[in-house]
């Protein structure tokens, strides 16, 4: 009995040690931020990997609505297409969390392993893809069954950048370590090919016809334009310092880079693919840029988790949502 008790005690201590280890920040030197706006444009939810809570903003009233605690290294937030739920990855907890957008309460958690990072959801809200930069994998999550249906391998440090083509047939995954894009067939869930030639690739966007992809190169301060059919970079354009964002406006007429070191956005006119303007007054913007569906507004996340609301016609900040109720 004493031996059994000792073994149980040792097992309990080991479990506590694992919990303590898991509670430590995973890769704290890898920093990112995330911003998601609900489909009805009533809520904006923001976070960064240095803050243990998410900020929820009421966009109609322009104020902080709530702060959601309990995170360690939140990496990405995406809303379900119907807006009823949103999903959060936390690389230190190794979890995908499902939250109720109406009550702002946690509904369920799914273990994906430490390193869970960027995520992309399909138009039906049935499948979620999650990058894992620690295990060099992408987890395919069946949201209805709430389980991992497959783990795709052969990536190289996949972080924030992951996007579905508009028709949902292909998934584009950025590999930060190898500076390549992996193209995944979503039917077979296998890697079809790779696209290279990037320089510290960050965020990506895809045109509505699926024929053109845009990527931010933070290594040489450019945005790249890629022909998705040929898999070749067809042009690059110089933007601000250390661009993380490559955000395509819903109307497809303008692309914006979020320039971390320039505290600005660069507006790139399309299809000409040339700089049209610089929008200043921001603080360390990265890839966390969201748009209204009518393409008139943009919401840009600052380093302090405040959100700047931009009038895109005048290129001016019309209001700033503060991360404090005071």
Q: For every one of its 326 residues, what pLDDT tens digit does the chain have, with 9 covering 90 and above?
A: 343 333 333 333 323 333 334 456 777 788 899 999 999 999 999 999 999 999 999 999 999 999 999 999 999 999 999 999 999 999 999 999 999 999 999 999 999 999 999 999 999 999 999 999 999 999 999 999 999 999 999 999 999 999 999 999 999 999 999 999 999 999 999 999 999 999 999 999 999 999 999 999 999 999 999 999 999 999 999 999 999 999 999 999 999 999 999 999 999 999 999 999 999 999 999 999 999 999 999 999 999 999 999 999 999 999 999 998 66
pLDDT of residue 25: 72
| 8 A C-beta contact, residue 320 and residue 308 | yes
Phi, psi of 2 (to 5 degrees): -60, -40
Spatial distance between the Cα atoms of 212 and 63, rounded to a whole number of angstroms: 37
Spatial distance between the Cα atoms of 283 and 302, rounded to a whole number of angstroms: 5
Spatial distance between the Cα atoms of 151 and 145, rounded to a whole number of angstroms: 16
| 8 A C-beta contact, residue 180 and residue 156 | yes
How many residues does the structure list for the chain? 326
Instruction: Report the DSSP pairing between strands 190-195 and 180-185.
Output: antiparallel
Cis peptide before 271 (omega within 30 of 0): yes
Residue 281 corresponds to which tokens in the numbers above?
């007054």
Task: Answer yes or no: pTM beyond 0.85.
Answer: yes
Spatial distance between the Cα atoms of 145 and 62, rounded to a whole number of angstroms: 36
Spatial distance between the Cα atoms of 297 and 291, rounded to a whole number of angstroms: 6
Spatial distance between the Cα atoms of 312 and 133, rounded to a whole number of angstroms: 34
For 73, 74, 110, 165, 257, the CA distances from 69, given in Å and listed in that order, are 11, 11, 18, 33, 30
Residues 6+ apart with CB under 8 A from 84: 100, 101, 102
Strand order in the sheet with 147-152: 116-121, 127-132, 137-142, 147-152
Q: State CA 194 to chain mean position distance.
A: 21
pLDDT of residue 20: 39
């Amino acid at each position: 009995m004493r031996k059994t008790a000792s073994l149980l005690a040792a097992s309990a201590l080991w479990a506590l040690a694992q919990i303590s280890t898991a509670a430590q920040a995973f890769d704290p030197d890898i920093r990112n931020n995330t911003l998601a706006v609900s489909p009805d444009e009533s809520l904006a939810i923001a976070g960064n990997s240095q803050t243990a809570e998410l900020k929820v903003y009421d966009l109609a009233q322009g104020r902080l609505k709530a702060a959601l605690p309990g995170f360690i290294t939140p990496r990405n937030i995406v809303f379900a297409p119907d807006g009823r739920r949103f999903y959060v990855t936390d690389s230190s907890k190794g979890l995908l969390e499902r939250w109720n957008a109406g009550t702002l309460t946690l509904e369920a958690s799914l273990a994906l392993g430490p390193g869970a990072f960027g995520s992309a959801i399909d138009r039906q809200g049935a499948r979620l893809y999650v990058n894992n930069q620690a295990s060099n994998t992408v987890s395919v999550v069946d949201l209805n069954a709430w389980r991992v249906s497959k783990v795709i391998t052969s990536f190289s440090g996949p972080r924030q950048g992951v996007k579905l083509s508009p028709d949902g047939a292909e998934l584009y995954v950025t590999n930060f370590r190898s500076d390549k894009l992996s193209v995944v067939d979503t039917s077979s869930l296998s890697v079809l090919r790779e696209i290279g030639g990037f320089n510290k690739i960050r965020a990506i966007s895809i045109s509505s016809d699926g024929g053109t992809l845009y990527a931010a190169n933070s290594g040489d301060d450019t945005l790249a334009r890629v022909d998705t059919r040929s898999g070749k970079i067809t042009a690059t354009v110089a933007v601000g310092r250390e661009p993380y964002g490559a955000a395509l406006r819903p109307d497809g007429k303008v692309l914006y880079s979020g320039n971390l070191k320039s505290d600005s956005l660069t507006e790139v006119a399309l299809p000409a693919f040339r700089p049209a303007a610089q929008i200043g007054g921001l603080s360390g913007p990265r890839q966390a840029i969201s748009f209204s569906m009518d393409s008139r507004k943009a919401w840009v996340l600052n380093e302090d988790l405040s959100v700047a609301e931009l009038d895109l016609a005048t290129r001016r900040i019309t209001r700033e949502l503060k991360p404090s109720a005071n």
